[in-house]
Every structure is written in C-alpha cells, then in structure tokens.
Amino acid sequence: MISASPHPVIAISSLKPGMFVVAIISQRGDMEIAQTGRVNDERQIAALVTRGVLRVRVDLSRSKLAKASPPCTAEQPDSSSLSMTAPQGLRVPGEGRELKIRRLYQEARELQGKFIRQLKAGEPIDITSLATVAEEMVDTMFSHGDAMLCLARIRAKDAYLMEHSMNVAILLANFGRYLGLERSVLKELTLGGLLHDVGKIMTPDAVLNKPGKLTDEEFAIMREHVVHSHDILKATTGITPTMLEVAANHHERLDGSGYPRHLKGEQLSLYTRMSAIVDVYDAVTADRVYKQGMQPTQAFRILLKGAVTHFDEGLVTRFIKCMGVYPVGTLVLLSNQRLALVMQRNELAPLKPLVKVIYHATQRHYLEVHLLDLAKASVNETIESTVDPKDYGITLAHFI
C-alpha cells in the first residue's frame, strides 16, 4: 500500500515500471544507485530484487505509472532512467553505514532539486521532507561526521548550486556540533544551508555562469540573489528566523563591506558569522566551469587573511580546528611517495589521520587500495604536503 506522502517508502514488491526512485532505503546487498531516475521496465525491478534491495523511496510527482517509458537501450539512452553500479574503492567494516549515508546525501540532493523545480514552476512548496532529511543529516554528523564530510568533497561543475548548498549545510552542521550548539539549532542551520542560495534561480544564467569577471552591473544583479532567497523563504511555511538569517546574511561582513544590508560588528549574530565563513570556504574550494577550486589549506589562508575585517577571527580559528589540519577528503602526499585520501581525522594527533592509499606519485600508477592509520606506532609514513588530484588525473569520487 502506497502512502499519501509525496515521497513514500515502499517495498520492492510494490515497485512498478514508471515509478521515479529517489533512494534505496534498505537492502541485503551492496548495490548503489549511481543516479536517481525512473524505472523503465520489469527487468530493472528484477535486477534490484536480485541485488537484495528491500525498500525504496519514490517520488510520486515524477512517476509516470499510466505510461511507462520504453526499455532503455545502448543506442537510445534515457537520461532520466535509474542507473545502478557497484561501489568503487575499498570495502571496509561498517560500510553498510556508509551506504546509508550516501543514500541520505542522495535523498537530500533529490529533495533540494524538487524544491527548486517547484519554485521555478510556481507550484505549492512544502519543506517537510527536506526538514526531515536535515534532521537525519544532523544525527549522522554526530555518529559518522567524517563520512558526511567526505561526501562534501564530491563535486560536479554542472551542479554547483545544489552541491554548494549541500556542502554548506554539512559544514554548518559540523561547525555547529564542534561549537556545542543544541541539536535543534543544528537542524535549523542545516536546513538553512540547504536553502540559503535558492534565490539564485532568479539570477539570469548568463550572469550566474559567466566564465569570467562580472561587470559592476552584472555583480549588482548577482547580489540580488540574497534578497530573492530571503523573500522566497520568508513566504515559505516552516522557515524559522535562524534559517532566514543564514539565507539573508551569509554575504554580510564584519566591517560592513558585505551585502545586501551592509550589516557590521555586533549586528552580525553567531549564525551569520558562521554562515559567512562556511559559505566562502566551500565556494573557493569548488571547481567551477570557469575556475579551478583551491585546496582546503589555501582556503584557510583566505579566511585567515580576511579575519577581523571580514570574518570573526576567533570563529575562523575554531573552524580551522574543527576541519583539521588535513580536512577529510583531502589528497595528501606521503613520505614514501604514495598519494592517500584523508578519510578520518585524528583529534589527538591532527598530523596523523586515517588515510586511504590509492596511487604512486613518482611511478604514476594506481595501487591496491588500503587504509593506513598514520597514528599507529608501526607506521613510519608521514604526510609531506597536500596535493591537487587534478595534477594526477585522479577523480576523488571513485575512492570516497
């Protein structure tokens, strides 16, 4: 029986051709959805059953039950159809939890996209499902924060708006947890992060995606997205003052040089100051169509340079401590010339995180993937520097 919810969870036996799958909720196997999409035929359902899938979440508004799409072929691919793949990289104990975290991330992305589509279409807006996911993200940050931060390193140049908002949400949850904020506040900050840039749907694509420096007139248009975000969210049921503050004030600066209201000093609350730091950190580390993203350590320098004038100096210091000397998802060069991905921080020994070794830097070839705890007494390797994965043609998403 399918519930009245727009995104019900159903048993695999109830899945029908034409239904749009948002996420796998439970399973016995280790299959993942590479991209959400519509189930085209019974063969795809059979494949899900074979791979141990038990329950899935579907989007009824995007399902086409009356007229299912024809089977997808190699000659005529369906870009909206469900795609399945086995996870890449290392299989480690507790990976079932990691799969659940991936699905949570995927579900949040899908609900984000639905919210934006509804806004563009002028349809009624309901943030209930997104609020539920935000609460789950906060809970997951407490139990598996490093895994969540790893996912925030997966980026695609053509999906910046949603990925930036997802990452701001994750980073706010992580930062707020580090600062000891109440979980109820963390949920509001997380949902505020997910929605903070929604006003960009009103920004012309020619300005939003311009491959170069904006003119003064174009920058004035770009700045308006904050006002649009405020207006959209203020008119949305369920939005709290904290969520509204994240959206409306994340471009304000301590010295009053920010926008849109040129707030300064004590006019900037803790949440505004946190949002400003997190927003800039993620923005400068992101690859865009027209620019290459910085490494986390470079982003820290940008924040430190702007401390006192633009950002709260004490909060910048605490944010860097929160993220760690080598943030999760950073590619590092080890003393034995191996490249490794930082998977888990070590608060007691920040220079010795848990890493995943993947590549030989001098011989230029991939290695058998394995985990290495740099804090163990038996391990002699140390980190020499951070590395840009693009310098070696490495796609981090394959190993996270």
Give the tens place of pLDDT for each residue, 16-62: 888 888 777 777 655 554 445 788 888 888 878 877 788 888 888 77
Residue listed under structure tokens 């248009």? 221
Residues 67, 68, 70: CA angle, nearest 5 degrees: 120
Nearest Cα residue to 168 out of 143, 200, 209:
200
Query: Residue 78 and residue 66: Cα distance in Å, rounded?
Result: 18
| CB 173 within 8 Å of CB 186 | yes
Confidence of residue 1 (pLDDT cuts 50, 70, 90): very low
Is residue 262 within 8 A of residue 248, CB to CB? The reply is no
Q: Which ranges of 235-353 would DSSP assign to H, the alpha helix?
A: 241-249, 270-285, 296-306, 313-323
Judge whether 229 and 195 are in contact, CB under 8 Å. Answer: yes
Domains belonging to the chain, first-starting first, are 1-71+80-86 (no CATH), 93-323 (1.10.3210.10), 331-398 (no CATH)
Predicted confidence at residue 96, as pLDDT, reads 57
The pLDDT assigned to 5 comes to 57
Cα angle, residue 314 at apex, residues 313 and 315 outer, rounded to 5°: 90
Q: Give the pLDDT of residue 97.
A: 65
Global confidence as pTM? 0.74
pLDDT, tens digit (0-9, with 9 covering 90-100), for 185-215: 999 999 999 999 999 999 998 998 888 889 9
